[in-house]
Structure 1
Amino acid sequence: MYPQNFRRPLTAVTLGLCALGVGVRTAHADPAPAFAELLAQSQATAPRLAEARADIARTQGLARQAAVFPNPTVGLQMENFSGSGPYRGTTLSETTATVQQPLELGGKRQARMAAGRAEVTAAQARARSAQVDYAFDLAVGYATAEAADRRMLLAQETLTLAQEDARIASALVDAGREAELRRLQAQAAVQAARAGLDEAKAARATAFGNLTALTGSPAPLTSVAASLLDSRAPLAPGLTPASATAAAFVAAQAEREAAARRLQIERRRAVPDVTVSFGFRRFEEADATAMIAGISVPLPLFDRNRGNIDAARAEISAADARLNAARLEAEAAVRVSETRIAAAETRVVAAREGERTAEEAYRLARVGYEAGKLPLVELVNARRALADARAQTIAAAVERIGAQAAQARLGGFATPGEQ
């Protein structure tokens, strides 16, 4: 038999790893708050949402500008002065002061105002779609970061178990019950587990870096304060496929309406505008003043705005295509939404059951190896199966959150529990 101090039950190792995991988490100075809180906080810091708000402000400014009238033109003209002969000086000069006012015909101003309102509506719809997409991306990013954290702890656990198994193998080799090859194999497994831990640490740093960039947080996020993967509350409570309306589809509808309004503007621009003028003329020689008035209309012989009208029609065709694509994507998402969530829930249950089975298999393999009834390869395979089972549990939880987030995005939910 090998020394008693190497006969350590799996529960003792697990408890030690749990303590290690707590130490890792508490060492982080800037944990991300719970998902709902982080989503609320990031509304003011996320660059993507700031861009959407700026787009709304831009269209509102353009809409206000569309309602203004053309400015009048004030003119002052002096003739017949500082010449030769009788036109020396200003004795025979004529001075004309005029005010010219363009008059827009064909409903141009009304068309601009309608287009401005449509652009504001489209920008608001795009901002809403951006908020919904952002909530989806943040949920996935949060779950990914939490999963990376768990995978790092799993890699640390795998390393600790590999080291414990290597100590057992070394003790058996020293006792003459195993060949030296078993010690080398166990040490190789330790090195592989250590490399896996380094990879998991790098993946974790990347995941939290991406989460920090996504939220626009001024301080790096290095851990999560509350689990999203273990949360049982749906991200979009009360949502059914029948009640779902994709925000992207609504935005596409608004953009199509804005394109139609822009076409109306281009059609109205083909109508010539009239410029009326009114003023006074001063005759120095006669010491008299006379009123003048005039009207001018451009002749649409060459420029009838055909190119801009055709371009606006093409924009409508493109908007129709985007609207149709958004409709088809929304319909497809509605059909698979419930199925995907149900499949994800089933996978989570199956993964957890598989993890419990793998834990028991590893415990029995370890007992059998310590007793000399099983070879080292059986223990290694059992440990690898346990790590794979736990990784599958993490992946299943991430998939479940992704399915819930996709359904929430489909329903236009920008915050958890939004109705």
Structure 2
Amino acid sequence: MPSPHRRRPRFAAGCALVAIATALTGPAWADPAPSYEALLARLGQTPATLEADALFDAAEARVRQARVRPNPELGLEAENAFGTGPFEGYGNAETTLSLSQDLELWGRRGARVEVARAEAGTAALRRDLASVEAAGRLALVYAEAEAAERRFALADEALTVTIADTRAALTLVEQGREPLLRGIQGESEAAAARAALDEAQAERDAAFARLTAVAMLSAPVTSIEASLIDRQPAGAVAAPGSTPEVRVAEAEREAAERRIEAERVRSRPDVRASVGVRRYEAEDATAFTLGLSLPLPLFDQNRGNIDAARAEFRAADARLLGARQEAQADREAAEARLRASVSRVGAADAGVTAAEEAYRLSRIGFEAGRISQLELRSSRAALISARNAAVDARLARVRAEIDLARLQGRAPFGTSQ
């Protein structure tokens, strides 16, 4: 069996290698990411908001088009020409030039405009909802990137502390005050801490990449200086009576109701009036022609479209009922989660303070030989867990603020859109 004297240099060398690797892990930071407010001001450039804006512009264009009357129809007709007998050639022909126009009676144009206006109103509300959702997604990605950065810093600090504890254990092993097993355990703990650091670095880089993509930044995000997870939520902001989803459902119901009336109007005859001039070649004379035409609703009375519009209205009414039933419950639940998350942050901060003091006293006691390495390891693990729990509590508070802000129709940590 190898002697303990041969194993001790291996432990010291292993810890030295871990310390050197730790020193090399620190990246060269570039410029920090813009603040959350700066990114929020650029929210209109994101694909989701651009799509919602384009759909609203399309709805507005359909309103303008709905106001336009149908074009008149110009017709030219020749009769009694190029036949046989007295109608040979064009000498006895009758030529008629006419102009016909759809009169759009029964309120057809007004019903069409009302449907287009209702759909434009729905598109406007959906645009507002898309802006709120984009702001919430930005806040979440920003907070997750900041939390990942903090977890990486905590993992780096945990590795440093673990190496320091391992060195202290090796010193006691050299002095014969601790068995060789403690050195082996310390080396294993340092390797595990190094692996945790690598994992935290990968999570941080992935979170930074997501933030770069969501915020549509030209340069990759490499650090965050303007904190969001430490900010107090704006949960006390006054909110409108209805959630954005309820307002969208109400607009959809109104548009469905307008479509019923439009289909009813379409079932009535489409009256067309015409006026023209007729030329009589044989008599070398002209005369005016007047006409009025309308289809006979014997077969197509638009019953199917009317029934379909009524069914769509019932569906929209059901969606509105469901949205109203869920709105109040969702808001109360979001407010409760936000209050709980605020309390959780306070408790987590108190836990970190207690864990830091416990670890400090454990380290002093371990170096003095009054407590074992197992107790030191336990207090160190409790400190690492408490610090990570504090980050998790802050991230949960951000998520609760995002949920409540969406129900209130505003950007997280901000005012109404």
Say yes or no: does 1:107 pair with 2:130. Answer: no
Secondary structure of 1:96 counterpart? strand
The residue aligned with 2:392 is: 395
Give the alignment's TM-score, normalised by structure 2: 0.87
**How far apart in 1 are the matches of 2:249 and 2:221?**
35
**How far apart in 2 are the matches of 1:254 and 1:366?**
65
The residue aligned with 2:238 is: 239
The residue aligned with 1:55 is: 55
Q: Is the Cα contact below 8 Å between 1:236 and 1:413 reproduced in 2?
A: no
Secondary structure of 1:98 counterpart? strand
Q: Which amino acid aligns with 1:204?
A: R
State the shift of 1:68 in Å: 1.0
The Cα offsets for residues 393-413 of structure 1, whole Å up to 9 and x where unpaired, read as 011111222222333222222
Q: Is the Cα contact below 8 Å between 1:140 and 1:402 reproduced in 2?
A: yes
**How far apart in 2 are the matches of 1:38 and 1:297?**
59
Q: Is the Cα contact below 8 Å between 1:32 and 1:38 reproduced in 2?
A: no
State the shift of 1:370 in Å: 2.7
**How far apart in 2 are the matches of 1:278 and 1:350?**
86
Which residues in structure 2 correspond to 1:187-202 (within 5 Å)?
187-202=187-202
The residue aligned with 2:36 is: 35
**How far apart in 2 are the matches of 1:124 and 1:247?**
11
Q: Is the Cα contact below 8 Å between 1:108 and 1:268 reproduced in 2?
A: yes
The residue aligned with 1:348 is: 345
The residue aligned with 2:313 is: 316
Name whichever of 31-40 and 334-343 sits farther off. 334-343
Secondary structure of 1:32 counterpart? coil
The Cα offsets for residues 338-358 of structure 1, whole Å up to 9 and x where unpaired, read as 432221121111101111111
**How far apart in 1 are the matches of 2:311 and 2:218?**
43
Secondary structure of 1:224 counterpart? coil
Which residues in structure 2 correspond to 1:9-24 (within 5 Å)?
none
**How far apart in 2 are the matches of 1:120 and 1:215?**
28
Q: Is the Cα contact below 8 Å between 2:402 and 2:412 reproduced in 1?
A: no
Q: Is the Cα contact below 8 Å between 1:81 and 1:93 reproduced in 2?
A: yes
Name whichever of 187-196 and 372-381 sits farther off. 372-381
Q: Is the Cα contact below 8 Å between 2:33 and 2:224 reproduced in 1?
A: yes
The Cα offsets for residues 27-60 of structure 1, whole Å up to 9 and x where unpaired, read as 123x322222221122x31111111111110110
Secondary structure of 2:45 counterpart? coil
The residue aligned with 1:384 is: 381
State the shift of 1:300 in Å: 1.6
Match of 1:366 among 363, 367, 371: 363
The residue aligned with 1:163 is: 163
The residue aligned with 1:11 is: none
Q: Label 1:318 to 1:344 Cα distance change in 2 as closer, same or farther (>3 A).
A: same
Say yes or no: does 1:285 pair with 2:282. Answer: yes
State the shift of 1:298 in Å: 1.1
The residue aligned with 2:302 is: 305
Say yes or no: does 1:270 pair with 2:272. Answer: no
Give the alignment's TM-score, normalised by structure 1: 0.87
The Cα offsets for residues 211-239 of structure 1, whole Å up to 9 and x where unpaired, read as 2332333333333231111223x335543
The residue aligned with 1:8 is: none
Q: Label 1:402 to 1:264 Cα distance change in 2 as closer, same or farther (>3 A).
A: same
**How far apart in 1 are the matches of 2:326 and 2:211?**
27
Secondary structure of 2:369 counterpart? coil
Q: Is the Cα contact below 8 Å between 1:47 and 1:216 reproduced in 2?
A: no
Q: Label 1:382 to 1:127 Cα distance change in 2 as closer, same or farther (>3 A).
A: same
The residue aligned with 1:5 is: none
Q: Which amino acid aligns with 1:193?
A: A
The residue aligned with 2:90 is: 90
Q: Which amino acid aligns with 1:32?
A: A
The residue aligned with 1:71 is: 71
Name whichever of 45-54 and 286-295 sits farther off. 286-295
Secondary structure of 1:135 counterpart? helix
The residue aligned with 1:125 is: 125
Q: Which runs of 5+ in 2 are unaligned?
A: 1-21
State the shift of 1:84 in Å: 5.1
Q: Which runs of 5+ in 1 are unaligned?
A: 1-16
The Cα offsets for residues 291-315 of structure 1, whole Å up to 9 and x where unpaired, read as 2222221122222212222221222
The residue aligned with 1:328 is: 325
State the shift of 1:271 in Å: 1.0
The Cα offsets for residues 226-272 of structure 1, whole Å up to 9 and x where unpaired, read as 1111223x3355437xx653122112211211111112111111111
Say yes or no: does 1:175 pair with 2:175. Answer: yes
Say yes or no: does 1:218 pair with 2:222. Answer: no
State the shift of 1:362 in Å: 1.7
Q: Is the Cα contact below 8 Å between 2:139 and 2:412 reproduced in 1?
A: no
Match of 2:291 among 294, 302, 312: 294
Q: Label 1:306 to 1:294 Cα distance change in 2 as closer, same or farther (>3 A).
A: same
Q: Label 1:346 to 1:57 Cα distance change in 2 as closer, same or farther (>3 A).
A: same
Q: Label 1:208 to 1:267 Cα distance change in 2 as closer, same or farther (>3 A).
A: farther
Which residues in structure 2 correspond to 1:145-156 (within 5 Å)?
145-156=145-156
Q: Is the Cα contact below 8 Å between 1:155 and 1:197 reproduced in 2?
A: yes
Of structures 1 and 2, the one scoring higher in RCO (CA 8 A, sep 6+) is 1
The residue aligned with 1:256 is: 253
State the shift of 1:329 in Å: 2.2
Moved over 6 A (4+): none
Q: Is the Cα contact below 8 Å between 1:45 and 1:217 reproduced in 2?
A: no
State the shift of 1:20 in Å: 10
The residue aligned with 1:9 is: none
In the comparison of the two structures, how many residue pairs are matched? Answer: 395
Name whichever of 266-275 and 404-413 sits farther off. 404-413
